[in-house]
Structure 1
């Protein structure tokens, strides 16, 4: 038994059913029919259970649930136990699919890639330093060289001349 056709009712005017309640109705075996209707930007689900026709709504907001991709919708319905349903794409034909873009995600991904490249650079530099085979200068020579530099700087500071 078909729910109705899209032309006979406004989906937005239907009473809503959220995911939790729909799952309960399915578990009880009370779903008589399910239909998917094309809309601007995606697909709506309408079910008939206990003689009542209801539109699937988002649990938190209560707004009609809009699936932007039909394969996501099919996976959802199969996951909750609805394997047979009808599709009415009448209004979908004129719909323009909206794409969800988030500029902040693009920037975050760029920053993540830059950070990863910097980490790789640091790891390579540390490894290169560890692999260095040039003989190292003994600490006594380094201390002596810097002692000479400090003495020259002190002398320059006292008499204003260059060392």
Structure 2
């Protein structure tokens, strides 16, 4: 496996690799140093493929040698494998994802809104329990709502719509 692919190797998805492991078809593995991380290349039959990242068609990169080696040992069940550091460049680590900041902002806003909403509900429940918020009957609600609709219809008619 010393002649492992250096540029854009063919890839295989993780599920297929697990199926090959269960069938005991993986013959060897190579942890291949890449700019910014480590790829894992498996050999089965006459094929040699790099493991793909989840939900993408790109080679999966582990940030450090230990995690890549642990994957080969624990997930592939291989105690012996090769390591090729020739192309490894730790300075090239650029794992920033442009969508991460936006996703984090949206998650934070959603959490803040959820906390606000829950506080509003709790405040209403507390008000009902201590009597500061009064309950209204269904008839009273329907009367108020009918008046509101009539008011809106008058405003719409007066605005010429």
Q: TM-score, normalised by structure 2?
A: 0.57
Q: Which has the larger radius of gyration?
A: 1
Q: Is 1:56 equivalent to 2:51 in the alignment?
A: yes
Deviates more, 1:32-41 or 1:72-81: 72-81
Aligned with residue 97 of structure 2, among 100, 118, 123: 100
Instruction: Provide the C-alpha distance between the structure 2 equivalents of 1:13 and 1:107, rounded to a whole number of angstroms.
Output: 34
Structure 2: tracts of 5 or more residues without a match: 135-161
Q: TM-score, normalised by structure 1?
A: 0.56
- Residue aligning to 1:121: 119
For 1:92-129, what per-residue CA distance to the aligned partner results, in whole angstroms no more than 9, with x for missing partners?
Answer: 33432423352321221222122123123213422431
Match of 2:33 in 1: 38
Alignment size in residue pairs: 130
Q: Which residue of the other structure, out of 74, 81, 86, is the alignment partner of 1:85?
A: 81
Within a 5 Å distance, the mapping from 1:3-82 to structure 2 comes to 3-4=1-2, 10-12=5-7, 14-57=9-52, 62-68=57-63, 73-74=68-69, 76-77=71-72, 78-82=74-78
Deviations along 1:41-90, one digit per CA (max 9) or x if unpaired, are 32211123335433334586543333346565456442343444333344
Instruction: Return closer, same or farther for 1:96/1:62 CA change in 2, 3 Å cut-off.
Output: closer
Q: In structure 2, what is the equivalent of residue 132 of structure 1?
A: 130
Residues 36, 91 of structure 2: 8 Å contact kept: no
Q: Give unpaired runs (5+ residues) of structure 1.
A: 137-163
SS class of match (2:90): coil
RMSD across aligned positions (CA) = 3.4
- Kindly state the Cα deviation for residue 38 of structure 1 after the two structures are TM-superposed: 1.9
Counterparts in 2 of 1:93 and 1:124: CA distance versus 1, 3 Å: closer
CA–CA distance in structure 1, aligned partners of residues 97 and 66 of structure 2: 17
